[in-house]
Amino acid sequence: MAPAKVNLVIEVLGKRPDGYHEIDTILQTIALSDRVRVTFGREGIAVTGPFAEGTPTDDRNLALRAGKLLAERLGRREPFAIELDKQIPAAGGLGGGASDAATVLRLLQRRWPEATDDLLFEVAAEVGSDEAFFLVGGTARARGRGERVERLPSLPRHGVVLFVPPETIEQKTARMFSALGQLPFDDGAVASSFAREVPSRFRAEDVYNAFERVAYDMFPGLTSLSEDLERRIQRPVRLAGAGPTLYWIGAIEAAGEVASAASGAACTIIASETIDSLWLK
């Protein structure tokens, strides 16, 4: 299983010399997951599931790229194929592609025992920014461009309801970071405060997402969707990652009521909950 994530905190601290942005973020895995299978003796990638559309089936696919890179680093020539059952909406800010990649690395590690955790983290950092977090999962803080991950005490079980708009925008993340570059950067205080003492109760009101300062101007219809959802559920919704997915988080027993109240809004509604790491040893 390759779980999705939400960012409870995202602070963008500034532009780095390498062209990336320095971030300080608190991430949390949730139960919504892609199903990932690796088989040996043949090559290729197959994508199925309700959110298969938009998932590449060539070397642009992060899971395939991660697997090939690990094989190259180990000098392995054993052919393998990847099957992805996409339950996580693509390009929605939920980390599905990065989670698929991390899961493939873990599955290959079972087959190739010389693939150390250190090597997996090196490969993950080369493939992208969220992959390293998904090698850890649960509740964690990520810094740098996302590759420096610190496991935190687990957030107690919370309900999460996702609201996925029907469309996103091209080159979303790059455009969002570019827009943020015109505004003052964050100082990391929110993430530092969270990391010092993980709260026992977390609400949508507690989410901090620097991308919210630009997202509502960049995603067509996102403002009206957010307003409609908040009228329906009588609770705030927040941006997931770099968007455009919106989400509510709160008491586990309220999740069903929130999902039901949102019925009829112009989005896909997915009820889920927070989960701990799948990879604790």
Would you put residue 4 in left (φ > 0), alpha (ψ -120 to 50) or beta?
beta
pLDDT at 5 over 80: yes
The domains found in the chain, sorted by start residue, are 2-151 (3.30.230.10), 159-273 (3.30.70.890)
pLDDT tens digit string along 9-47?
999 999 989 888 999 999 999 999 999 999 999 999 999
Active-site annotation holder among 5, 68, 86, 172: 5
* 65 vs 12: CA distance, rounded Å: 27
> Tokens at residue 228, please?
């409609």
24, 6, 28, 19: which is closest to 186 by C-alpha? Answer: 24
Residue 280, pLDDT score: 53
Burial category of 74 from C-beta neighbours within 10 Å (exposed 0-12, middle 13-18, buried 19 and up): middle
User: Which of 24, 34, 100, 130 is an active site residue?
Assistant: 130
Q: Is 130 a catalytic residue?
A: yes
3-state secondary structure of 79: coil
Q: What residues contact residue 165 under an 8 Å CB cut-off, 6+ apart?
A: 219, 221, 222, 225, 244, 245, 246, 266, 267
Q: What is the pLDDT of residues 45-101, one digit of tens each?
A: 999 999 998 899 998 999 999 999 999 999 999 999 999 999 999 889 999 999 999
Supply the pLDDT for residue 279: 62
**pLDDT, position 204:** 96
Residue that the structure tokens 């099957």 belong to: 83
pLDDT at site 281: 44
